[in-house]
Amino acid sequence: MTGDDERLLEDLLEGKHRALARVISKIEDRSPGYRDLVSKLYAHTGEADVIGITGSPGAGKSTLVDKLAETYRERGETVGIIAIDPSSPFSGGAVLGDRIRMGSTIGDMDVFVRSMSARGTLGGLSTATADAVKAMDAFGKDKIIIETVGAGQNEIDIVRTADTVAVLVPPGSGDDVQTLKAGILEIGDVFVVNKADRDGADRTVQELRDMVAMDAGDSVSMSGGHHGADSMAMLEDHPDDEAHADWDGGDTDAGDTDDWVPPIVETVATRAVGVEEFIDELENHQTYLVDSGTRAEMARKRYAEEIRTLLREDVHGLLEDELERAGGVDDLAEAVRNGETDPYTIADELLDPVEASLAELERD
């Protein structure tokens, strides 16, 4: 690690927000040396509660996150917020319009808000977000909130990073609740019907209650919250990976005998109504995770997945280098078309030097 990065790390650990911002920028940009920097953060992490906030667009996520942060600050706790935004079609950067709804804590240095671009890259979001969470954790933030754009792969990514996931459901969803159930609702540890003063809120709450009660006895139930969904997502992402076969979402025997049943909270975020009750349920879930042993198991599984992800990235980079040395994938594909070779032979030839290097390391 360079001298500049060492000083940057020291400043971050001393609580300097400018250093935190610079570290997250290096993480998001994948700047040279960022991996050495992130590796030094691990020894200073593990204290923060990480909360994921997701849900359909228009559910009021940004407003609720703002009130959540404001209430935490009133309780004397420091907050870090990572807002995953849609990418700008022009610059590729985060679109910051929704951040104007986070106005209650402007000027409070103990609430650090960072927007990160989704960029549309599968896998990159989860890695960058997890590393940014580590930076905030090492900095000393008590609560770290991740707010997603509310659609697609980002919701699967969030369950690999957050300890507790809250799913916002807009009132009057009606039959849409059953449609949502097959998607992001299955990752929820807490359900929030925001804008609960609007028509249809009571019906939405009742439909969610019915859904939770109905699924409580399923073999892959929502009673385990997002841990069960994480298991499904990882198996879907890696259907042939035997290393994932033993993933159980982090539930322990203690958790099996006393499963977490996702509560349903009604809020009106614009008036901070129900926010205290929401925080109480988040804390109840954190207590459950610790008492059941689930939090420790989740951390172990999360680190195992991080190792696999980094190995996949590194091996992919090595193989891309081998492809270039062999003349590039287009030339190899042309050789296959001409009948001079075949994809299996090419793959074996490209892997030979990698396997030889690994064998040499084992001998050393």
Strands, sheet with 143-147, edge to edge from the N-terminal-most edge strand? 111-117, 79-85, 143-147, 49-55, 164-169, 190-193, 264-266
pLDDT of residue 17: 94
pLDDT of residue 86: 62
pLDDT of residue 97: 45
CATH of 46-292, one of 3.90.1530.10, 3.40.1360.10, 3.30.70.1280, 3.40.50.300: 3.40.50.300
Helix (H) or strand (E) holding 178, with range, is: helix 176-181
For the segment 21-31, the average pLDDT, to the nearest whole number, is 92
What separation, in Å, do the N-terminal and C-terminal C-alpha atoms of the chain show? Answer: 25
pLDDT of residue 164: 95
pLDDT at 234 over 50: no
pLDDT at 259 over 60: yes
Q: Is there a contact between 1 and 40 (Cβ–Cβ < 8 Å)?
A: yes
Which residue, chain included where needed, has tokens 């969803």?
A: 173
The Cα–Cα gap between 44 and 179 comes to 41
pLDDT level of residue 278 (50, 70, 90 thresholds):
very high
Token pair recorded at residue 294:
């689930």
For the segment 136-144, the average pLDDT, to the nearest whole number, is 97
- Residue 268 carries which side chain, given as an amino acid letter? V
Comparison of pLDDT for 5 and 362, the residue scoring more: 5
Q: Is there a contact between 61 and 168 (Cβ–Cβ < 8 Å)?
A: yes
Token pair recorded at residue 117:
């671009």
pLDDT tens-place string over residues 53-101: 988 777 889 899 999 999 999 999 999 999 887 654 334 444 444 454 5
Question: Of the ranges 113-122, 214-223, 245-254, 340-349, which is most confident?
Answer: 340-349
* 30-44, 61-75, 311-325: segment of lowest average pLDDT: 311-325
Average pLDDT, the chain: 79
Q: How big is the CA angle at 258 (ends 252 and 264), to the nearest 5 degrees? A: 110
Q: Where in the chain is the domain with CATH 3.40.50.300?
A: 46-292
pLDDT of residue 357: 78
